[in-house]
Amino acid sequence: MNETTTDYRQKLIGISKQAYGRAKAKFGLFSGLYGQIQNLAFIYGDVLPKLWGVSGLLLARYLPDRFQGEICQTLVFFFGFNILSTVLSLPVSYYNTFVLEEKFGFNKQTLKLWITDMLKGQMLGVVLGAPIITGVLKIVQKFDTSFYYYLWLFGVFLQVFAITIYPIAILPLFNKLSPLQPGELKTGVEKLAEKLNFPLSELHVIDGSKRSAHSNAYFYGLPWKKHIVIYDTLIEKTEAEEVVAVLGHELGHWSLSHTTKLFGIAQFHMFYIFALFSVFVNNKSLYQSFGFVNQQPIMIGFLLFSDALAPMDAVVKLLMNILSRKFEFEADEFAQKLGYSDKLASSLLKLQIQNLSTMDADPLYASYHYSHPILTERLAALGWKGGKVTSSKEEDSETPVKAADREL
Ligand code: ZN
């Protein structure tokens, strides 16, 4: 056994304490409870009807007649509601970033960046939210009970629009993308893309290290023009060949049409939600039960309806995670067939260690909550026999890398 292997073994043993996973689970429990209490307080305190009433009063008092009516009142309500929920979520978000992530060395954000991110998010909410809400309400008002079909078309259009404008208009507000410098990694990725006929138009590096030690690689774009984005943290922490192996897995998702299938499922999901909503939208007793005696605002109907839908969401989550784990195995197998078995295994191991990810999980818990199979299952499927995991960069690294945001 060589020294590197011993080193990894020791690290794996250290991680078996699973302190980070436990801290995250505890935090999840408390933040969930906090959200639940908030929801109950909103219901028992009649917060929605009160906020709706105040929105109407503000409109009547400060804006001319042509700005009256349900659409304008909904916009004022929506922005008020948005500010209220953001303010309420601040303590949880602050704790997560500056206490929990900080403690385990993952946080790279400054307080200033955290605040500007939040303000930018609010601004985006106003700029994008206003036309979307106006469009939705107009469709529901115009098409009566058959609105769900048109609403669905509007939703599909919005998603395609979002895919198109996200890299140009939204991503640059938060991150800087720069072209990947020529070298072993660039050549490797380009060769891989060519081999698979992947329509690669640009190859970027994103400054993920600005916020956290999270690392990742992903692709996006329309079917004929794709971009690959690699986190600077991933490049820093793994070898070029391992990054290419990770992309072998990612492009496996593309080649096996996983992204298209998920897009299709999302459209079906959206369609049945809107179709069900069309049954609920005129249900007087739903509104009355929550303090809306004389009015039935569409937006409120949708908020109440989504709460009623929550138990069904649990089933959807379970099914989607089962499917997602299947896709992960398939993408691993794809990378394996390309000959990246060893490099993928070693990069998975490195990321797992640097991320302090949970090494083992209760099968029932994992089957509901995990979108990715646990490491041991993936390594076994890759046929990894144990052995040498080499790294020249690992030894001098102090900063852990985390891939929890969107794993490989
Ligand atoms: Zn994957």
pLDDT tens sequence across 344-365: 999 888 888 777 776 677 888 8
Query: How many angstroms is it from 55 CA to the middle of ligand 1?
Result: 45
| pLDDT at residue 168 tops 90 | no
Residue 386, classed as helix, strand or coil, is coil
Averaged pLDDT, 189-198: 94
Q: Could you give the CA distance from residue 386 to residue 393 in angstroms, rounded to a whole number?
A: 20
Helix axes 47-62, 298-337, angle to 10 degrees: 110
- 291, amino acid identity: G
Query: How many angstroms is it from 262 CA to the middle of ligand 1?
Result: 13
- State the DSSP code for 181: P
Query: How many angstroms is it from 136 CA to the middle of ligand 1?
Result: 34
| pLDDT at residue 389 tops 70 | no
pLDDT in tens, 134-150: 999 999 999 887 899 99
Between the alpha carbon of residue 37 and those of residues 32, 42, 43, 45, 289, the distances in Å are 9, 9, 10, 12, 19
Query: How many angstroms is it from 331 CA to the middle of ligand 1?
Result: 6
Query: How many angstroms is it from 326 CA to the middle of ligand 1?
Result: 10
Residue 381, classed as helix, strand or coil, is helix
| pLDDT at residue 256 tops 50 | yes
Q: Could you give the CA distance from residue 80 to residue 404 in angstroms, rounded to a whole number?
A: 32
Q: Which residue has the tokens 């689970």?
A: 25
Q: Could you give the CA distance from residue 144 to residue 150 in angstroms, rounded to a whole number?
A: 11
| pLDDT at residue 321 tops 90 | yes
Pairing of strands 225-231, 217-222: antiparallel
| pLDDT at residue 398 tops 80 | no
Query: How many angstroms is it from 248 CA to the middle of ligand 1?
Result: 10
With beta carbons less than 8 A apart as the criterion, state whether 38 and 88 touch: yes
Count CA within 13 A, CB hemisphere, residue 314. Answer: 4
Averaged pLDDT, 291-304: 89
Averaged pLDDT, 158-185: 88
- For the chain, how many residues are written? 408
| pLDDT at residue 131 tops 90 | yes
Predicted local confidence at residue 4, as pLDDT: 46
3-state helix, strand, coil in the chain (%, to 5): 70, 5, 20
Q: Could you give the CA distance from residue 315 to residue 387 in angstroms, rounded to a whole number?
A: 40
Predicted local confidence at residue 101, as pLDDT: 86
| pLDDT at residue 332 tops 90 | yes
Q: Could you give the CA distance from residue 231 to residue 242 in angstroms, rounded to a whole number?
A: 13
Q: Could you give the CA distance from residue 390 to residue 5 in angstroms, rounded to a whole number?
A: 8
Predicted local confidence at residue 280, as pLDDT: 87
Residues with catalytic function: 250, 332
Query: How many angstroms is it from 17 CA to the middle of ligand 1?
Result: 26
Average pLDDT over all residues of the chain: 85
179 phi, psi to nearest 5 deg: -65, 145
Averaged pLDDT, 74-83: 92
Q: How many CB atoms lie within 10 A of CB 207?
A: 14
